[in-house]
């Protein structure tokens, strides 16, 4: 494997993930009902029409804004509602509920992925194709029937940037309908498609100002998954490793690819939110220093680590790989605990501010 082959692989997966009818792209989404992921979803989300789910990002019974804020910056919290409420200038409590379809293709194999392997395999099977107009119609229909307000949509996956057209079309369609100040669109990516996207642009298959056009929208932010903290831990985290943990150096280029993809977004001025999902405590400092050198101290301030837990699909996957669930979870927990301690010590040293002490939507990254 090398970068050239990787781009071809992304292209082939991309082509499976959309069809074009009368000049309109339709994207392949996973059917959620009846999957092992559905058992997890049941606990926290509501499936609508088999292909969409709604969920509260923050678990907070009172719905009180200060409690919500605390939940957002807790160890297990996601701060997406904070990105949305600042951008839309709405109360925090109405930015918690999110509408989510899932692209049915991914190009990597994170062992702890919350999606069934079936539901990210890039084959149509039980999936179905939807245009962005249909997705926004479904979002608007869903929110009509809710007791609470809903102002956030997240195109999840799989890897959504295998079909990058979707992002821009979604933002443009929201704007056409006068919803840019009412609906926040959260993107997400595993950062492995930057070169593939450049190739699409070079070949005239994607707008050459794709990234810059996205950056013009204030109702948009991207969850950027840095999986590991060095090339080896990254390959392990995205499933390019053997049972004994050894990795194939042929795939080392994916480390550079993730930094380059991230840099492209920062350069364009897109609001990016770096997360590390599977840190190696021994290389976390090196990772942060590398990011700071490229993007300033703000990179350290804006990077969060998130604990991983075992979801239903993970059991089956680990069984297949002959890995023991308890040992796997123990490793994740230990790494998170150590890494959390390192972040608490290191972030103030680098930035003069505490870890998670500043709302991330106030932190702007710039290429140095």
Which residues contribute to the site for ligand SF4 (CB under 6 A)?
A: 106, 108-110, 113, 115, 120, 157-159, 190
What residues does 320 pair with on adjacent strands? Answer: none
Residue 344 to residues 67, 84, 202, 334, 351, Cα–Cα distance (Å): 22, 26, 43, 16, 11
Tokens of 130: 């939807």
| Number of Cβ atoms within 10 Å of the Cβ of 201 | 16
How far apart are CB 78 and ligand SF4 at their closest, in Å? 14
Residue 68 to residues 50, 57, 223, 306, Cα–Cα distance (Å): 29, 10, 19, 17
Q: In terms of CB distance, is 93 or 166 closer to ligand SF4?
A: 166
How far apart are CB 105 and ligand SF4 at their closest, in Å? 9
How far apart are CB 155 and ligand SF4 at their closest, in Å? 12
Helix axes 284-295, 325-351, angle to 10 degrees: 40
How far apart are CB 62 and ligand SF4 at their closest, in Å? 31
| Number of Cβ atoms within 10 Å of the Cβ of 237 | 26
How far apart are CB 259 and ligand SF4 at their closest, in Å? 16
Q: In terms of CB distance, is 157 or 291 closer to ligand SF4?
A: 157
Do residues 346 and 285 lie in contact, with contact meaning Cβ atoms separated by under 8 Å? yes
Between CA 170 and CA 178, with CA 173 as vertex, the angle to 5 degrees is: 125
Closest CA to 192 of 6, 17, 5: 6
How far apart are CB 275 and ligand SF4 at their closest, in Å? 11
Q: In terms of CB distance, is 129 or 275 closer to ligand SF4?
A: 275
Q: In terms of CB distance, is 87 or 121 closer to ligand SF4?
A: 121
Q: In terms of CB distance, is 82 or 110 closer to ligand SF4?
A: 110
How far apart are CB 335 and ligand SF4 at their closest, in Å? 16
Element (H, E) at 48: strand 45-48
Between CA 267 and CA 277, with CA 271 as vertex, the angle to 5 degrees is: 100
DSSP string, 283-352: THHHHHHHHHHHH-HHHHHH-EE------HHHHHHHHHTT--HHHHHHHHHHHHHHHHHHHHHHHHHHHS
Q: In terms of CB distance, is 71 or 110 closer to ligand SF4?
A: 110
Q: In terms of CB distance, is 105 or 351 closer to ligand SF4?
A: 105
């Amino acid at each position: 494997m090398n970068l050239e082959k990787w781009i071809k692989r992304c292209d082939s997966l991309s082509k499976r993930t959309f069809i074009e009818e009368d000049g309109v792209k339709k994207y392949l989404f996973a059917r959620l009902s009846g999957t092992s992921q559905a058992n997890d979803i049941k606990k926290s989300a509501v499936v609508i029409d088999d292909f969409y789910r709604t969920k509260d990002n923050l678990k907070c019974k009172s719905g009180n804004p200060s409690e919500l804020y605390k939940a957002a910056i807790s160890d297990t919290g996601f701060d997406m509602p904070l990105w949305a409420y600042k951008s839309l200038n709405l109360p925090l409590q109405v930015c918690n509920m999110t509408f989510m379809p899932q692209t049915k293709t991914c190009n990597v194999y994170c062992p702890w992925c919350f999606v069934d392997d079936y539901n990210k395999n890039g084959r149509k099977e039980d999936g179905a194709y939807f245009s962005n107009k249909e997705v926004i119609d479904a979002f608007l229909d869903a929110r009509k029937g809710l007791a609470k307000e809903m102002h956030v949509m997240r195109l999840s996956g799989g890897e959504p940037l295998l079909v990058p057209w979707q992002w821009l079309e979604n933002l443009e369609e929201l704007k056409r309908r006068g919803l840019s100040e009412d609906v926040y669109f959260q993107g997400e990516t595993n950062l492995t498609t930057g070169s593939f996207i450049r190739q699409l642009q070079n070949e005239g298959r994607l707008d050459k100002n794709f990234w810059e056009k996205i950056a013009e929208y204030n109702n948009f932010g991207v969850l950027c998954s840095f999986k590991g903290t060095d090339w080896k831990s990254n390959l392990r985290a995205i499933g390019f490793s053997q049972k004994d943990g050894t990795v194939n150096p042929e795939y080392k280029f994916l480390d550079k690819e993730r930094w380059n993809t991230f840099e492209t977004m920062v350069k364009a001025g897109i609001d990016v939110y770096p997360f590390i999902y599977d840190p190696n405590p021994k290389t976390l400092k090196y990772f942060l220093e590398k990011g700071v050198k490229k993007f300033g101290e703000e990179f350290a301030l804006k990077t969060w680590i998130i604990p991983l837990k075992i979801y239903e699909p993970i059991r089956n996957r680990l069984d297949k790989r002959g890995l023991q669930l308890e040992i796997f979870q123990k490793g994740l927990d230990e790494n998170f605990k150590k890494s959390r301690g390192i972040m608490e010590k290191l972030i103030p040293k680098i930035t003069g501010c505490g870890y998670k002490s500043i709302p991330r939507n106030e932190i702007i990254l710039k290429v140095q």
